[in-house]
Structure 1
Amino acid sequence: MASQSNTGPSLISISHGGEYTVQIKKKEIWIHSAVPIEGTRFLQSSKLKEPLSTQLKFLKISGSGATSDGENKPNTTQHEEPLDLASHYRIICGSESRISVWQVDSLEWHADIENIEPSLTSVDFGASDDEAILFHAWSSKATIFNLDSAKSLVIKSPKFCNPSSQGYGYRPRTRQLAILLKPETSDLLTIHEACSYETISKVILPTIDAQGLKWSPDGRWIAIWDAANNGTKILIYTADGQLFRTYSGRPDTETTHDLGIRCIEWAPLKRRQQSSELLAVGKFDGTVDLLNTRTFSCSTTLLHTFQIDTQSPAVWRERMSFEGKLEYAEASSSSAFTTASADSAGFPRGVSMLRFSYNSDFLATVDQTQPNIVWIWSLSASINLKSALVHEHNVRNIAWHPREQELLITTANSTFAAVHVWSQDRNPNIAGVPISRSEAGRYDVTWVTATARGEPDVFWFNTADDAVLGHLSVGDDGHGYFNMLHSVSGDGYPQT
């Protein structure tokens, strides 16, 4: 996101694993590292050339763990030790007509893509950081550039050109491209070889209006879901484009009242596990179907309702303490139904967020009927609702720790910048964050995977213009505290 000012646009981007943060401000590019390099987290800065510096619209970082399939995935391979500054990390930034690529280690220019057709809507790295994939307005085409050979190729009529869409994805490990196309009236799935992008298969989809695709983490399956007005419909394809299964909902469900699918999420691979075990299907009726990946049939349906009995889950409600600090207080299960967010009107109904913990033992969900509640489900022995966290504002973002059963939550609170944390081992807590307040309540969190053993688990907390790095602790008063290690301030100058 860009924020216009009299000195040009300001953008911040954080690498997928949190290793680096890049900021563009005052016509300069600034690089920050989560792990100190030679005693400092601020690495270097460099001037951007005109007219790019005043027309900048896109900013991304490549590198280990980065994804290039149109979304930020929380569940990937974790690093056990700190990473050294690696030359393969690159930055891609650009305007609607020009793209520049930089090396992170030296902040040296690597490549330019010029004379681009105007009205770019999305820019990202491709199968590797040697490629850039560009989507053009009106879904006219996707262009893939090889930054080393300076060659390019075009895929015509991609179905989606919105950067937040899920209309394409690269296969884990081997990096074949799967993409949805809409050349005429039918949806198409095409699968392309890595590097050469030769077509492996081209499939006419039996869909009314395909909404997106996702590769399974093991690379065996491609899941494609249809528009909600066609009811529950997920197509499972093999990696070479063969239809394997179609899931149309539980057999005991009335199809006349089937409101369809809003989102899906694959469970991550566990250690020493070769295949994905679960596919979660979030639906517009507020339920979640859990499909086992052997038969792609529904094993369990999760309902966003409380069973008020002696086995009721722990429910925690956000409140303001006497000291003026946000905190969680344990509440009765029924209280959650009386605290629906006041700004929920107009939001599309249905399950909007599905996030598995790193080992699939827990699943966190958000249902837009009550968008201020995070539901945490235990999936280990018997499937049950473990806890629910009730907030005063809509939930904006949730992110599981890469190695622990710990969850970070941000809400659309425009008054206080705060991070909420749930842990399996202790009561949940809330900590204020020393960062400029976002009028729109837009806050994001990114765990840093490259932390040394024995060191605190750190994460980035950022707005569109600022970012801070730190970790959480609980004081003697029982309140949560954010311990800041580094700040990327809005004025462009680092603070530690």
Structure 2
Amino acid sequence: MASPVALDSSPHCKPSPDGRFIATLRSSEVVVRSTGTLQVINAVILSSRSGSPHTSSAAGSSANAPTLLWAPSSSKFLISTADQLELFGALSGSKFHATVRNYGSLCGGKPSLVQFGARDTELLIWSASGLKLVVIDVCRSGAVEIESPKFHQSASALRGLSLRPETGHLALLVRSGGRDIVSLHHPVDRQVLRSWSPEMLDAQGIAWTPDGQWLLLWESAAQGHRLLIYTPDGEHFRTITASNLLKGPDADLELGIKTCQLSPNAELCAIGDYSRGVTILRTPSWRAHLRLPHPATIVPKDTLQVWQEKIETESPQARATHTFVRATQVLSPPGLATDAQPATAEAKFGCSLAAFDASSTLLATRLDDSPCTLWIWDVVAAELRAVLIFHTTVSFQWHASSRELLLVTSQDPAQRGVSFIWDPLSNGPTSLVPEDNLPDGRAVGKTQVSWINRETEFPVLFVSDAQHYLLLSPSNAGQDSNPWQQAAVDHSSGGMEYDSPTSAHYAMSDTDETKAVDDTFYFKIS
């Protein structure tokens, strides 16, 4: 990789959803840069009420530190503090500014989570007590309260809510009177259009398909395999049970669904459960298409690559190097470390992590009883294409637009964000150590490595710690300069073009919005 350009960062530094910008929250301002040129395109001075991400004490006040969120279209961002929300336009010259003060009073105390809704001006606020979900539209100057969302903790709240692509209809799972209820809400005023009680004892997730043609609802694994399919207007279409997913006379006695993942083209749905297999459904008919069994022993062959991580150090003071060796002998993937056994036996088995690549032809899976191993399946050929074996527990992320391009990141804190890039044509995964690219060869605070989700000639990685961030192009290895150095020169005397073909459907014109909220909107409870 070419020598990167390191820029000032903070613990609150995030790329925009469309990959065109990076916003950094500092002590008194937010700086927005273009990922194409690394030039500053906007700098927003924060009010004194916004607080400082650097002034919080180590104990007890981290919850009061401001946080940064990007809007769905990447045209705005939100600064969230303990007592107010501030929404700003991201581009230079934008006059958009809205403030919601004392928003905790709306939900009866400190919120557990704040997220954007379908539009740039819509905010979703979950009560920490689970009493209500509050929907605020800063342009309409109003709020809608929805009682008893089933999931309200920050780690699970988004599992009980889904926004329909294109239209923005809200599907929400609530719990009332000991029963689960699904409610469909209008895309603008969020009034209830329809609600019903599904034939389930303990629903665990709800999701629209990427094309918005189907609404999925799945049961708790303890209640067995049960997946309900609805049309967009809430009509029941099909119920999928264990007999549709598993073989054998005792299928109905097996523990049920752990994960339900849809392909980007909305044609496939992967169901992971407590078995060693993953079932693929075809969404037009919602019938089982194929079953992918994870073998207990792996036999390498020409059509199946098996790569094993090898860690070497020249001396105790030297940094470890990560290389990969292609296996030629039959082997079994490693299991859980002795000191990492789950507290409950039921958490040891099955597949709870799966994702399709951008082309919807590859599926990556990870078994809970073998968290150091990734399995790459070709769902077109219905065969296992690669197995990647690491020394530590890993997570993974496909590139949003480049097909068959995988980023794998170690979850071991001692590895400090060590990551790997893999594609089917590579000679094994390529390692990326953040400290090798950050200034002074060391990382400060928590590191993060992720894809910049923008369609470019070469894929781009975002690497950061608490003090610096940089962009890397894995395809630019061996060149004397990186693509941003020349771009910075080309744009040094000119302005940025802000059109974004990947912006979400619900982006709104800052010019129009300024007329509606020229005076900052303050939402108060009297």
TM-score between both structures, scaled by the size of structure 1: 0.81
Q: Deviations over 1:408-430 (max 9, x none)?
A: 11112423543211112222321
Larger radius of gyration: 2
Does residue 279 in structure 1 map to residue 265 in structure 2?
A: no
Could you tell me how far 1:383 is from its partner in structure 2? 0.4
1:263 aligns with 2:281: no
1:461 aligned counterpart, secondary structure: strand
Counterpart of 1:125 in structure 2: which amino acid?
A: F
Paired AA for residue 384 in structure 2? L
User: What residue number does 2:18 align with?
Assistant: 17
Return the offset for 1:97.
2.6
2:115 matches 1:124: yes
In the superposition, relative to structure 1, how do residues 237 and 383 fare at CA in structure 2: closer, same or farther (>3 Å)? same
Query: In structure 2, how many angstroms separate the alpha carbons of the residues matched to 1:463 and 1:243?
Result: 47
Higher strand share: 1
Number of equivalent positions: 438
Tell me the residue number matched to 1:425.
425
Q: Which of 122, 129, 141 is the matching residue for 1:138?
A: 129
Shift of 1:354: 1.3
Deviation string for 1:105-125 (max 9, x for gaps)? 137561011122231111121
Greater relative contact order, per chain length (Cα 8 Å cut-off, separation 6+): 2
Alignment pair present for 1:62 and 2:64: no
Write the letter of the residue equivalent to 2:40: F
Counterparts in 2 of 1:153-164, with a 5 A limit?
Answer: 153-164=144-155
Alignment of 1:192 onto 2:197: no
- Structure-2 residue corresponding to 1:5: none
Distance (whole Å) between structure 2 residues aligned to residue 63 and residue 216 of structure 1: 18
- Which structure 2 segments of 5+ residues have no match? 1-9, 53-63, 315-319, 486-526
In 1: Cα distance, 2:482 partner to 2:238 partner:
49
1:110 has 2:79 as partner: no
Moved more, 161-170 or 361-370: 161-170
Distance 1:206 1:184 in 2: 15
Q: Is the 8 A contact 1:431 1:472 kept in 2?
A: no
SS at match of 2:51: helix
**Residues 375/214 of structure 1: CA separation in 2 closer, same or farther (3 Å cut):** same
What's the secondary structure of 2:278's corresponding residue? strand
Letter in 2 for 1:18: G
SS at match of 1:229: helix
Deviation at 1:146, TM superposition (A): 1.3
Matched-pair contact (CA < 8 Å) for 2:298–2:330: no
Match of 2:352? Answer: 352
Give the match's secondary structure for 1:169.
strand
> Amino acid of the residue matched to residue 221 of structure 2?
A
Deviation at 1:285, TM superposition (A): 2.4
Change (3 A) 1:463 1:171: farther
- 2:291 corresponds to: 301
Q: 2:226 maps to which residue?
A: 233
Q: CA deviation at 1:371?
A: 0.6
Higher helix share: 2
1:443 corresponds to 2:445: no
Which residue of 146, 157, 168 corresponds with 2:161? 168
Structure 2 length normalisation: TM-score? 0.76
Specify the alignment match of 1:213 in structure 2. 206
| 1:100 counterpart residue number | 86
**Root-mean-square deviation (CA), in Å?**
2.8
Aligned to 1:372: 372
Counterpart residue type for residue 232 of structure 2: A
Task: Tell me, yes or no, if the aligned pair for 1:339 and 1:390 is still in contact at 8 Å.
Answer: no
Alpha-carbon shift at residue 398 of structure 1 (Å)? 2.1
Out of 38, 41, 44, which is 1:43 matched to? 41
Structure 1 window deviating more from structure 2 (387-396 vs 348-357): it is 348-357
Tell me if structure 1 keeps the 8 A contact 2:215–2:229.
Answer: yes
1: CA distance, partners of 2:480 / 2:120: 37
> Quick check: 2:22–2:32 contact (8 Å CA) kept in 1?
yes
Shift of 1:319: 1.2
Query: 1:233–1:58: structure 2 CA closer, same or farther, 3 Å change rule?
Result: farther
Distance 2:373 2:120 in 1: 38
Once the two structures are TM-superposed, the CA of residue 322 in structure 1 deviates from its matched residue by: 6.6
